[in-house]
Structure 1
Amino acid sequence: MIKRLLGLKPSRAEKAADRPDVILHIGSPKSGSSAIQRFCLNNRRQLLQRGYYYPEHNLDKNNVSGGHTRVANPLGKNSVEKARAVFARALEDARAKHACLLLSAEAFYFQHEALLALTNGLKVQVVCFIRNPVEYFLANHNQGIKRHMGTRRLNELLPALVSRPANHLTGKPLLAWAEGVGDENCVFLPYKAPVSGGELIEAQFLRALGWADAEVEAATRDLPGMTNRSYVKSALELKRLLNTVLDELPLRSVREVDWCLQGFSDRTLNETGYSIADLPESVAATLADKLLSQMEGVVERFPQLQDIAQLPPAEAPGQGATSNLDLQAPLSALMAEVPNVIEQIREVATDQRNNGRQDYAFCKLLDLLGIDFEEPKGLAGLALKQREVLSGDKLETADCLREMALLLERQNLLNDAQFAIDQALKHRPTGQGIQTIKARIDSALNPE
């Protein structure tokens, strides 16, 4: 401490004495974790030379990883002893190398209770980058489409978001981590993507570990290209449409689609992913009102996060329409790289079309794939006469079922109409009107 006050450089032994037993990089999600993990994995030797032991983990073909999921995944499944065994081996290896154990996984962000129990008795430091909660919400929505088969548009998610707390989006887990390890052992920093003018996340991470500027500059001078970039808009919209059928394909095929679209997005530098600037002003305002106010307690405790607790200025609001996206570009990439998967998609889509599927996103996919289909007909509502019947004082079950059958018939849902009229006939076997309707529906389903 005296040397620091005098401006003298501490010795290697003094640095080691100050170093924690374990450093946990906990994300947060969608805040550059893949880039940090790729860097650490590719620079394990250099990290070890500086006193940090980073255990190996896998990368996929696009250099994306979940980090140290061998600890995080068992904790997520409540297999604590399995996680404890993996952690203990890693800690033993670190100690054998006289190094601090450095672990990274976005899943850790939500696992404070389990990890605090796992590291009980150890000196722990927690490093976390956190982004603007509105950006985080957008990134979550994109990730739902990208990796979790989502098909819903953003506006479909807003009512649910506005109606409940959003602790994970607004940094509330940071408070739990700080309570567990102490504020002095927390390095919580705002995340700003490099495409928005932020510093390289790898450089920020090394500074969080205490590296000097010269060391950081040397270590990050020749970094490879962007890691796990958000899907560009065309790739994301194509994936949303593909998700209408991908759940019927083998998991390997689904992963190949993701790998291909990720590679396409990483290469397509003239197109961006969705951002706050793409939100209609009213939607952005709704999200900001809901989310930013929930960050007050976090910012009060960690003032360095103030910048992300406000809505950044949108240079071009409301540019998020998908009608002018060129979906043929990412589709062409899929056809060139995974033609067998495209053929599987076409087969599943054709089969679902033949079985009567007509929802809008699915029909858009059929059109994109060049598969012929009948355009959905507008759905008819209740006729005035039906409203009068259904509001009558003498209404019976057979009447309700008959009117349901008529409505379904007008909507061309003939199998459902047949089912409803059959039920009506059970309740009124001698009803001539019901018999006439049944004969007409049966004839439409089984023309001679």
Structure 2
Amino acid sequence: MPAREVPLDVDGYPMAPPELVLEQVHVYARHGERTPVGVRLVDPPASIPQHWTMCQNGRQFRAAVAGSHALDETSIQQHDASLLLRRAVERRDGSFHDSECMLGELTDIGRATTYNLGVALRKLYVDKLNFLPDRIGHEGHVYFRSTQVPRTIESLQQIVHGLYPTTKYDNGIVPRILIRNPRDENLLGNTMACRRLEVLNAGFAIAAAKAMEHTLEPLDEKLSKYIRGNPIRIDGQPRLSGIFDTVRSAQANGVKVPPEFHDKAIMDTIERAVVTEWFAGYKTEEFRRLAMGRLLDDLSRKMTHKADYGEKDPLKILIHSTHDTALAGLASTLDVFDERWPAFTASITFELFRKVEPESPKSFLQSLFGTFAPTSSKRTSEHFVRMRYQNRNLSLPFCFEEGSHLKGSPEFCTLTAFQQRVKELTPQDWEKDCLTAASHTRS
């Protein structure tokens, strides 16, 4: 089913041309399978469960607790203890179930698929390509970051554990998971901190509701019975995106859904409408700049630093745990979106390559004097960026021109062309641009 994760295909990974050397990898992964973020389709005849008991593996954990007399950081470190706890969801009537999930929580299946993603990353970048070291001996080699949402944090923990199990840490190494405060977050389109983006988002949602109404009307006869006779609409009760979320979450976790939601024509119509509602804004440059410009600027600056400093910059892999809206937003902003909702544990990868020129044949002097004669070693000539999504290489349209990609391989965009496009997408003053809502009408 489209809702299910698409495992990383290590065996089918397309090797780069021999003149390209991998320098740095940026991974943006959607969290794993989760429960719906709201209660919908519970009443018969849909009868999708309200309570999901699929979170057994996340219920037992250890929490750091400080002694009551610990007054400073040194004392806290000396008196820290590990407290074994169990979590449970309490229902309104006071009852609870140890394995019940919260709304929007990562399920046991989601924990497994994100762990498997980490294992696949290890098989690819450690075992197959010998790009990453077998062990973490230097924290500067890795960068792990998540949004502040529990399901993305837990997903990243699973990915990290699959990539580098605790047996692969050198003494004293404890990898950090970085999380930003909400107003500083750029791993998604931050409508919370950007009023202008919020207004644009709402405007495009209203426009989509009107534009897609005629395509959804034929679904009423088949689906309205599952939502108390209400029409199937983007702005309906419940909203179409909510129905889509519940159905996709159920399918991904093996929960039975009404047969109509297995009909490809029906689901394609629903998906097309929801994708239009959420992502039509990315057809405008302003929306792209406000939603994804800062994230792409971060990416470009880190790649540029690596290209400029080479081995002096030890950072090899950066893994970001984020959301479906971030993956679709990145793909839309770079004009390679397939108009399909990203699956759970889907990932986008940007790989930075350095082109090297082969060593020249031995000169006459080298033949005479051997290693004492000057030699012509490999040298950097160019850097290239390859974007991949769900095991596919993506050729970026702004790199199609001759000289903007590796000759004969359009999927390898020159770093220069990539930097230039990102510069166009980067806000000069994001906070100022976000405050201009009052001077604009809704799109």
Q: State the TM-score, normalizing by the size of structure 1.
A: 0.22
Q: Kindly indicate which of the two structures has a greater share of residues assigned to helix.
A: 1
Q: Select the structure of larger CA radius of gyration.
A: 1
Q: Which has the higher contact order (CA 8 A, sep 6+)?
A: 2
Bigger strand fraction: 2
